Amino acid sequence: MTRVVISGMGVIAPNAHGLNDYEYALREGKSGLRHYEKLEELKFGCQVAGVPQGVDELSTKYFSKEALMAMNSNMIYAAIAGIDCWKDAGFNIPESGDETVDWETGAIIGTGIGGLDTVGGKLVPGTDAGKARRLGSTIVEQIMSSSVSARLTGFMGLGGQVTTNSSACTTGTEAVIDAFHKVRGGQFKRMIAGGSEGSSHYIWAGFDAMRVLNRGHNETPKQASRPMSASAGGFIPGSGAGVLMVESLYSAQERGARIYAEILGGQVNCGGQRNGGTMTAPNPEGVQRCIKGALQMANLRPNQVNAISGHLTATMADPQEVDNWCKALETTPSAFPTINSTKSMIGHGLGAAGGLECVAAVLQLQKGFMHGSLNCEDLHPELEAYAESIPHQTKEMDINIMAKASFGFGDVNGCVIFKKWGT
């Protein structure tokens, strides 16, 4: 089988745009969560969200006026992160008029919910007012699920498979794993992979109604996302995009690309919504099988995992997740690997979460640190035994194997194993 590596990355997150700023934000524990007047005005229980900053100005540097007229926030994030990833991998964005198609590169850019800002802001009001005829030409390309992959890949002229996956909050990690399989199987030399989610109160309203968002920190937004804490009161919705270049080792070496990490294995499964699993809760056996499956494919013993980038959203499920990791890795709390939650800084990016967090995981692996998890000084009682494994401040450490998992509604799971390059 072909060996597969990460040869480029791009990120636009609530706390940073670009790899350097993202690394700095992660190291410094910079929260990207803010209180939003709009959510207060609309009487949301949770009025805090994670939204990438300065995007209007940034967009005009990346996109033409015409392109922007047909791009919602989801598409803008996916395209910024995707273009950054493409350039970081050593490629150029072709000049307008260049008719070259790159037949050897594909893309899997996932999204969990999709372009609800367009649906809620334009499609529904316009249609209900009897003005379907006046909606314009740009609605479909913004509301189709594949809007994120379709728009992005047009900028580069990609000619491999171009698609969008959707599996709730597993989406971004699933995209990376799916891309890994395609490249490993020799179908494509490389695939741009990751997840994206727009910023829209229409996306967040349903979660607010479920009472799964934290309603208790509207005045103190930087403390609102509290994974692993005793006072975790629900997640904070986030948005943005994280995209990785998944490439065959041969292709990356042939063109002299910088390699961030190797992907050793990946597994995606579903708990079947049985044995404790439901539409919104995980079957522990499914989670454990997923992690074990990824390790097996990576040909690793469970004790070879040095670090875990958790899903860890700040709901009741955090202690259960850590317990599942512990069982899957056949270890004990005292011997447990270092674990952190990137969501403590950027909130839960939903379909973008896996993309944003895979980028964070690979950066930490490559640079040799684990960022601290914010707001869990008061560890959940069930996690006290793991206290040594949960850094509150950034910890420099040599990591060889990093496991990243994401879990989603529908009882779906994804786990990917990254290995530091050059070890």
Partner 1 sequence: MERSEILNKVKEILEPYVKNEEAFGNINEDTSILDDLQVNSARLVDIILAFEDEFDIEVDDEAADQVGTIGDAIELIHGQIN
Q: Shortest distance, CB of residue 161 to partner 1, whole angstroms? A: 24
Residue of 17, 201, 217, 348 with catalytic role: 348
Counting contacts by CB under 8 A, is residue 396 touching partner 1?
A: no
**Euclidean distance between CA atoms 412 and 329, whole angstroms:** 19
Indicate the residue among 121 and 216 with the shorter CB distance to partner 1. Answer: 121
Helical (H) or strand (E) element with 33: strand 33-35
Task: Identify which range of 130-138, 163-171, 362-370, 413-421 contacts partner 1 by CB under 8 A.
Answer: 130-138
134 CB contacts (<8 Å, ≥6 apart)?
126
Per CB under 8 A, the list member of 1, 43, 64, 279 interacting with partner 1 is 64
- The count of residues in the chain is 423
Instruction: Count the site residues for partner 1 by CB under 8 A.
Output: 10
Catalytic annotation on 169?
A: yes
Task: Identify which range of 17-25, 133-141, 276-284, 382-390 contacts partner 1 by CB under 8 A.
Answer: 133-141
Burial (0-12, 13-18, 19+ Cβ within 10 Å), 364: buried
Per CB under 8 A, the list member of 130, 134, 396, 422 interacting with partner 1 is 134
Structure tokens at 236: 């904070």
Q: Shortest distance, CB of residue 68 to partner 1, whole angstroms? A: 9
List Cα–Cα distances, 282 to 118, 170, 195, 243, 294, in angstroms. Answer: 31, 12, 21, 26, 18
Counting contacts by CB under 8 A, is residue 43 touching partner 1?
A: no
Task: Identify which range of 23-31, 32-40, 58-66, 118-126 contacts partner 1 by CB under 8 A.
Answer: 58-66
Dihedral sign (CA 300, 306, 308, 309): negative
Strand partners, 108: 163, 193
Strand partners, 417: 265, 403
Counting contacts by CB under 8 A, is residue 61 touching partner 1?
A: no
Burial (0-12, 13-18, 19+ Cβ within 10 Å), 423: exposed
List Cα–Cα distances, 392 to 198, 277, 292, 423, in angstroms. Answer: 29, 31, 27, 27
Rg, C-alpha atoms of the chain: 20
Task: Identify which range of 136-144, 189-197, 280-288, 327-335 contacts partner 1 by CB under 8 A.
Answer: 136-144
Q: Shortest distance, CB of residue 133 to partner 1, whole angstroms? A: 9
**Euclidean distance between CA atoms 30 and 371, whole angstroms:** 10
Binders of partner 1 among residues 138 to 167 (CB under 8 A) are 138
Task: Identify which range of 119-127, 132-140, 147-155, 213-221 contacts partner 1 by CB under 8 A.
Answer: 132-140
Task: Identify which range of 20-28, 64-72, 155-163, 372-380 contacts partner 1 by CB under 8 A.
Answer: 64-72
Structure tokens at 408: 């989603």
Q: Shortest distance, CB of residue 137 to partner 1, whole angstroms? A: 4
Question: Beta-carbon neighbour count of residue 242 at 10 Å?
Answer: 35
Per CB under 8 A, the list member of 56, 57, 61, 65 interacting with partner 1 is 65
Residue of 17, 201, 217, 311 with catalytic role: 311
Give the residue from 24, 49, 30, 26 showing the smallest Cα distance to 38.
49
Q: Shortest distance, CB of residue 178 to partner 1, whole angstroms? A: 30
Strand partners, 52: none
Indicate the residue among 69 and 316 with the shorter CB distance to partner 1. Answer: 69
Binders of partner 1 among residues 73 to 112 (CB under 8 A) are 96-97
Residue of 17, 46, 85, 169 with catalytic role: 169
Q: Shortest distance, CB of residue 70 to partner 1, whole angstroms? A: 9
Indicate the residue among 136 and 206 with the shorter CB distance to partner 1. Answer: 136
**Euclidean distance between CA atoms 165 and 152, whole angstroms:** 15
Per CB under 8 A, the list member of 99, 129, 137, 279 interacting with partner 1 is 137
**Euclidean distance between CA atoms 300 and 390, whole angstroms:** 23
Q: Shortest distance, CB of residue 150 to partner 1, whole angstroms? A: 13
Per CB under 8 A, the list member of 42, 69, 144, 335 interacting with partner 1 is 69
Phi, psi (degrees; rounded to nearest 5) at 250: -60, -50
Indicate the residue among 120 and 126 with the shorter CB distance to partner 1. Answer: 126
Could you tell me if 240 and 52 are in contact, meaning their C-beta atoms sit under 8 angstroms apart? yes
Residues labelled as active-site residues: 169, 311, 348
Chain residues that interact with partner 1, rule: CB under 8 A? 64-66, 69, 96-97, 134, 136-138
